[in-house]
A and B are shown apart, each in its own frame.
Chain A
Amino acid sequence: MDSEKARYQQLTQEMMPRRPVLRNAIMAFVVGGLICVVGQCIQWFFMHQGMSAKEASSPTAVVLIGLGALFTGLGWYDRIVKHGGMGGTLPITGFANAMVSPAMEFRTEGLVMGVGARLFTVAGPVLVYGMTAAMVVGAVRWLITGVA
């Protein structure tokens, strides 16, 4: 039994398509870097309106998310993710893409359980674990240092 299992695992390992790791990494670097430069341009624009770098980061996120949602709707962002992999997914524009893409696809299931629920297929877990982690980190830091 055990050897059969091992043989099966070996087979699946062999059959699985090899991932072009180096090529993926280079594409992720270029695409992700470029998106961040676009973000820097937007932040720079808001800083020229008299905001500090910190104040400007919130409107920058809003604009980038808007762009990400728009490009996903137009079908352009899926191409960016296809070539850039995590370079397209990790920036905040990719977060917008991860919300819009399934919501658009499952629209036929209705406005509530189709669009409404599917918006959070990926965003849901990110918010759940992100919020929990932030709270735990904040509480631990408060306990240890006395200042949060």
Chain B
Amino acid sequence: MTFLWAFLIGGLLCVVAQLVMDWFRMTPGQVLVIFVMAGAILGGLGIYGKLVNFAGAGAAVPLPGFGYTMVEGIGQAVKQKGALGLFTGGLTAASGGIKAAVVFGLVAALIFKPKS
């Protein structure tokens, strides 16, 4: 059942992003920035967490999930460390993805040649 919701919610988030891009004539980069910020805000309001609970990867895999992950991480870190958690929590929670993106990205850019 989660697989169906993952497909529907993940697909819908992408449709919203596509419509925002087409209607406001934005570049993909601008849309990504807006969506990561939207994910953080919806995460803070507790909405995105509910979405992740029932759509699984459908909400976690699109980029708003990245903003949500950082907000959640900050929440946990603030509980343990107080104000310092505001600085450490976000990146701690997102560290796996960021490190993977940098290392795999660098390796891929060095190994492969651009096509066409």
A interface residues (Cβ-Cβ under 8 A, vs B): 19, 21, 24-25, 28-37, 39-43, 53, 57-62, 64-66, 69-70, 72-75, 78, 84-87, 89-96, 98-101, 103-105, 107, 115-116, 119, 121-123, 125-127, 129-131, 133-142, 147-148
Determine whether the beta carbon of B57 is less than 8 Å from that of A33: no
Determine whether the beta carbon of A134 is less than 8 Å from that of B97: no
B65 → chain A closest CB, angstroms = 7
How far apart are the CA atoms of A93 and B75 in the complex, in Å?
Answer: 26
B interface residues (Cβ-Cβ under 8 A, vs A): 2-3, 6-15, 17-19, 21-23, 28-29, 31-33, 35-37, 39-41, 43-44, 56-58, 60-63, 65-67, 69-71, 73-79, 85-87, 89-91, 96-98, 100-102, 104-116
B59 → chain A closest CB, angstroms = 8
Most chain-A Cβ atoms within 10 A of its Cβ — which of B10, B36, B98, B106? B10
A-B contact count (CB 8 A): 269
Given known pairs A69-B105, A103-B106, the reply for A36 and B86 (CB within 8 Å) is: no
How far apart are the CA atoms of A16 and B31 in the complex, in Å?
Answer: 20
B71 → chain A closest CB, angstroms = 5
How far apart are the CA atoms of A90 and B11 in the complex, in Å?
Answer: 10
How far apart are the CA atoms of A123 and B29 in the complex, in Å?
Answer: 9
